[in-house]
Amino acid sequence: MENPVIVAIDGPSGTGKSSTSKAVAVRLGLSYLDTGAQYRAITWWMLSNGVDVADPAAIADASGKPVIVSGTDPRDPRISVDGVDASGPIRSQEVTAAVSAVSAVPEVRARMVEYQRAAAAAAATGIVVEGRDIGTTVLPDATAKIFLTASAEVRAARRSGELLGAVSVAATQEALVKRDAADSGRKTSPLAKAADAIEVDTSDLTLDEVVDRVVALVGEKKATAR
């Protein structure tokens, strides 16, 4: 039996992380985990349960309460909170606006990282895990680490088409740059490129081109790891 393949895909919002990660997982026959969805899910629970998301101590106190279960099928990734499917509500603007504050709380991160390492350990053939700190913190021994980037303009254009409710590209760009700054500037495992990650700028590439490139990089890493 070959060792399970662990692919870490990090980068800021709107670089094509989710589409790329799901497609790579399908191509390589691997499981898939969207860690951003987990931070969104816990944020949705906080908002739904009246926790003040501007109060890190209140978030820390409540962080152990919700039970978050992530599906790992790249063709139909689902996430539930306390048994309720939250796949839709976690994409709301309300959650998007609050998720950086909630995900900066160390107690929240400790809990999510536990879930993430357990999912990686349980994946028989391997897994593609997408996020911000997967290569640096969650799975530092990953087979391949990819860091996706794209210009702020391209990222905003991609994101504005994706979020619930019609949002202008300019407003999306402003919110996205603000969220990236918060995610990169936080104390506990910020958004960062691991020293041994390979950077792929997706600004001028189609999704298929990015997927081809990542699949090739994983193949190279697997070959040298043998």
* Residue ranges that bind ligand DC, judged by CB under 6 A: 13, 35-36, 39-40, 99-100, 103, 131-133, 179, 183
**CA-CA distances (angstroms) from residue 201 to 181, 205, 206?**
19, 8, 11
C-alpha–C-alpha distance, residues 102 and 144, integer Å: 28
Nearer to ligand DC by Cβ, of 170 and 181: the residue is 181
Nearer to ligand DC by Cβ, of 28 and 175: the residue is 175
Q: How far is the CB of 53 from ligand DC (least distance, A)?
A: 13
Find out whether 58 and 150 touch, Cβ atoms under 8 Å: no
Nearer to ligand DC by Cβ, of 182 and 222: the residue is 182
C-alpha–C-alpha distance, residues 167 and 149, integer Å: 22
Q: How far is the CB of 90 from ligand DC (least distance, A)?
A: 8
Q: How far is the CB of 2 from ligand DC (least distance, A)?
A: 26
Find out whether 191 and 133 touch, Cβ atoms under 8 Å: yes
Q: How far is the CB of 179 from ligand DC (least distance, A)?
A: 5
Q: How far is the CB of 88 from ligand DC (least distance, A)?
A: 14
Nearer to ligand DC by Cβ, of 4 and 106: the residue is 106
C-alpha–C-alpha distance, residues 107 and 64, integer Å: 8
Beta-strand pair 126-131/79-81: unpaired
C-alpha–C-alpha distance, residues 141 and 122, integer Å: 16
Of 145, 71, 63, 43, the closest CA to residue 110 belongs to 63
C-alpha–C-alpha distance, residues 174 and 55, integer Å: 24
Nearer to ligand DC by Cβ, of 36 and 126: the residue is 36
